[in-house]
């Protein structure tokens, strides 16, 4: 999915991330909290998500407030990841400048030597975020651009108002 964040002053940025789960509490993804997206969400805890299936001509847009998931949720997901992904999360200072790929590979080698059992702990700077949706729009492409659009907006009581939008 595309994740869009913005700085406190409103400068936007967007990137692709993996949607790792969803339930009645929201939509979850995982990252390095010190990455650009992590820093932006710390400053401005609002985000937009876009999921797009071009062959089906379908799209879902989601906006809402973002909060970190619990440490227990982050631990559970981290320890279920492939070993290489766990080591990668531990050695990468995501979004920071590095001198070379070799520097990264050397850090990886040292970490693998430190944890020969293949079980590195989850770094404290790595974990999940949950987008609690305030608005969800479903888009279905239509012939001659007569698309179907349904927008759900959360009410204060937790229910949803549904509007049909013009294409």
Question: Which residue range(s) make up the domain with 29?
Answer: 2-81+124-165
* Domain membership flag for residue 110: no
What pLDDT was estimated at residue 96? Answer: 83
What pLDDT is stored for residue 93 in this prediction?
84
Q: Which pLDDT score is estimated for 95?
A: 83
Q: Quote the CA–CA distance of 87 and 39 in Å, as a whole number.
A: 22
Whether 23 is in a domain gets the answer: yes
Asked if residue 31 lies in contact with residue 126, where contact means CB atoms within 8 angstroms, the answer is yes
- In this structure, is residue 114 part of a structural domain? no
Query: Structural domain tally of the chain?
Result: 1
| CA separation for the pair 142, 136 (Å, rounded) | 19
Among the listed residues 58, 81, 101, 145, the single catalytic one is 145
Structure confidence by residue, pLDDT tens digits, 103-138:
989 999 999 899 988 889 999 999 999 999 999 999
Which residue, 119, 129, 130, 128, is CA-closest to 90?
119
Q: Report if residue 119 sits inside a domain.
A: no
| CATH classification of the domain holding 55 | 2.30.110.10
Asked whether residue 112 is domain-assigned, the answer is: no
Residue 20 maps to a domain? yes
For the chain, report the end-to-end CA distance as a whole number of angstroms.
22
Q: Does residue 145 carry a catalytic annotation?
A: yes
Contact 111, 90 (CB under 8 A): yes
Give the residues of the chain that fall short of pLDDT 50. none
Whether 86 is covered by a domain: the verdict is: no
Instruction: Report the run of H or E that residue 127 belongs to, with start and end.
Output: strand 126-140
Whether residue 89 lies inside any domain: the answer is no
Burial of residue 138, with CB atoms counted within 10 A of its CB: 0-12 exposed, 13-18 middle, 19 or more buried = middle
The two beta strands, 126-140 and 58-68, are: antiparallel
The pLDDT assigned to 52 comes to 97
Q: What is the pTM of this model?
A: 0.90
């Amino acid at each position: 999915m595309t994740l869009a964040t913005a700085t406190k002053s409103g400068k936007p940025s967007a990137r692709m991330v993996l949607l790792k789960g969803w339930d009645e509490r929201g939509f979850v993804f995982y990252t390095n909290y010190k990455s650009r997206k992590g820093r932006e969400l710390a400053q401005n805890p609002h985000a937009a998500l876009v999921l797009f299936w071009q062959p089906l001509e379908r799209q879902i847009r989601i906006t809402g407030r973002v909060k970190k998931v619990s440490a227990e949720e982050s631990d559970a997901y981290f320890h279920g990841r492939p070993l290489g992904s766990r080591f990668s999360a531990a050695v990468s200072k995501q979004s920071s400048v590095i001198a070379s790929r070799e520097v990264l590979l050397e850090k990886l080698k040292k970490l693998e030597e430190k944890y020969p059992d293949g079980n590195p702990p989850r770094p404290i700077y790595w974990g999940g975020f949950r987008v609690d949706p305030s608005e969800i729009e479903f888009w279905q492409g239509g012939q001659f651009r007569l698309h179907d659009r349904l927008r759900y907006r959360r009410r204060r009581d937790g229910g949803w108002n549904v509007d049909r939008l013009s294409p």
